[in-house]
Amino acid sequence: MLIGQGEALNLDLSGFYHRLYALLAVLACETDIEVTAVRRDQPADASQRDHHIGQDEKEEEDTWDEAVRSEADLLFDCLNRMFITGPKTSPQRVAAFVKRLMVASLYWPPKTSARSIRFVHRLFIKYPLLVNWLVPDDPTDSKHSHGGNNDDDDN
């Protein structure tokens, strides 16, 4: 949705943020997140595919394979544009994405999980307030020191 009039063009991307946030849960279950769409559709035996096409067609197909990106590449490109290179967004939204990314990284292949952790590290650098949410408000509080059981409550 476009907002405002005049020489500046402002886009309301809140719908995109909501959809991508919901999509992260779906992508967590995607086992082929690192595989390009072209490789998913290819036959298991690549020699069968190469036997029927000419050299020019094969070179064109190789160029196409290089241009097609995996779902992981597309996801992290979107996240980079949303949070790193784009304007700052609310810390609450960033924290929600951090939590969802960390949960998803438990299910992703190792390469994508490591990429997710590196991205979250970059978010902590750009949004230093996120670090405050990792530390309890009062570390001397008895509820945090021994699992939330307060012996004084028994009396």
8-59 pLDDT, tens digit per residue, is: 667 778 899 999 999 999 999 998 999 886 555 555 454 454 555 555 555 5
Task: List all residues 6 or more positions away from 147 whose beta carbon is below 8 Å from its beta carbon.
Answer: none
Kind and range of the H or E run holding 100: helix 91-105
Of 63, 122, 114, residue with least CA distance to 94: 122
Please write the tens of the pLDDT for every residue from 135-148.
776 656 555 544 44
Find out whether 111 and 34 touch, Cβ atoms under 8 Å: yes
Q: What is the pTM of this model?
A: 0.66
